[in-house]
Homo-oligomer: A and B are copies of this chain.
Amino acid sequence: MTAFAELMAFQRETEALAQVAGRLGWDQETMMPRAAAQQRSEEIAALEAVLHARRTDPRIGDWLAAADPQDDVAAAQLREIRRGYERNSKVPGALAAEIARCTSLAQGIWAQARADEDVAAFLPTLEEVLRLRREEAAALADGGDPYDALLQDYEPGATGAGIAALFDRMRPRLVALREAILGADYQPPALGGHYPEAAQLRLSREIARAFGYDFTRGRLDLAVHPFSSGSGSDVRITTRVSENDPFNCFYSTIHEVGHACYELGVDPDFALTALGQGASMGVHESQSRIYENQLGRSHAFTGWLFGRMRQAFDLPVADADTFHAIVNRVTPGFIRTEADEVQYNLHVMLRFDLERALVAGTLAVADLEEAWNNRFLADFGVAVQRPSDGVLQDVHWSVGLFGYFPTYSLGNVYAGCLHQALRRAVPDLDADLAEGRTAPATEWLRETVQRHGKRLLPGEVIAAACGAEPTEAPLLEYLEQKFRAIYRL
């Protein structure tokens, strides 16, 4: 066997074991009996130790030095394996283990603190998580910017400065749009009504199929926080049900279908290789967002959904236009995950600025809550009344995810670019969406984005799909056009 073949065989087993670890996580959130949590943590730790040893195995360095790639795909395989190996080898094993141990405990402490509305109970833990991740960032940065080093885990090639400049360009137009909407004469009504769980789940499955989700390679279950899990030919999604708010279920489903279809759409030749997953968190979010928003919340598709919901439920909405307005209703709110398309990125910008300051050391953990609340009042015009609506609302920082938040907005920006290119490529898309057919859109996305997996870098894949470097302009134009129509501005 050549060095390249040996490396690929070794990597294939590692990828297979990583799939097993991912499925353990899925099981934990969907199936695991509740008293099994302690044993499960030992099972996960044992498997993660196996994975860490494989990912830092010195033979990888030897194989990389000796391997001779025969084509572009092989070169991309080596690039991705090298990136992972060099990244993991920079972090001392003791630090990696300490981060794993600390973040695993921190999640529970955060959840309890949030339930108790007790920021002080969480701060010492956050202090420790941040200290460890800053230490890791310093090891990864090689003298460069620590926040940029953390970003690479989620969005290879992105920089804090670049994202800050992007957000500075986006913020004024989003704020202006939000103010216009909230001051508009027309305001859509609240939905009202009652939507039984079983019927929501039936329609959810129909919607998932309408977006091309392949149930022979996946399944749909319930979870507290919806997620998508797995790569290759076993990619599972979850949703949740609130009997007063069916859109929570349906749009969670569509969002996760977007993530899942990305993984299922990767070239099967890349399965169980370093290229066999989405290019980055940002590109991943571009797929979930364009499925959920540009397609799922379009006037055409909500017209189809309105018809299906009238058949399935006692729906107190008079017409498809009102239904479309309700689906896209903009209201003041504290919670990022419940935010509409207009305000969502403003929530992300707040977190980005705060976490960047935390990592830089210019904001102390002790001052974080005050900084959050001041910033929220300035950006959203309302005062946070309780920590679960403010600094304690997201799990991310407790598990050490510094540098992750901006990928949500990068995903929105990418989705805006892709949507513009998609509309050019499929000009009569709305006729299909109005009949619940998404195939012209989802097949275009599969061909232009999804099938490449990690073969192209995040910026490359979006640029190749759109024929231009991604910018915020298409997203902002789409939002302004859509919401001025809905709010009759």
Contact = CB atoms under 8 A, between A and B. Distances in A.
Interface of A: 12-14, 16-17, 19-20, 23-24, 27, 31-36, 38-40, 42-43, 45-47, 49-50, 214-219, 232-234, 236, 271-272
Main secondary structure of the interface of A (DSSP, over half): helix
Ranked 4 nearest A-B pairs via Cβ = A36-B234, A16-B46, A35-B216, A13-B46
Nearest to A54: B50
Given A24-B20, A31-B31, A272 B233 contact: no
A232 B24 contact: no
Contacts of A46: 12-14, 16-17, 20
Contacts of A16: 39, 42-43, 45-47
A22 to B, nearest CB: 10
A47 to B, nearest CB: 6
A116 B50 CA distance: 43
Nearest to A232: B39
Contacts of A36: 217, 232-234
Contacts of A217: 33, 35-36
A95 to B, nearest CB: 20
A34 B24 CA distance: 18
A152 B233 CA distance: 38
Given A12-B46, A16-B47, A23-B27, 9 more contacts: A14-B46, A16-B45, A17-B47, A20-B20, A33-B236, A35-B214, A35-B233, A38-B233, A42-B272
Listed residue (A34, A234, A271, A272) with the most chain B CB atoms within 10 angstroms of its CB: A234
B272 A33 contact: no
A34 B216 contact: yes
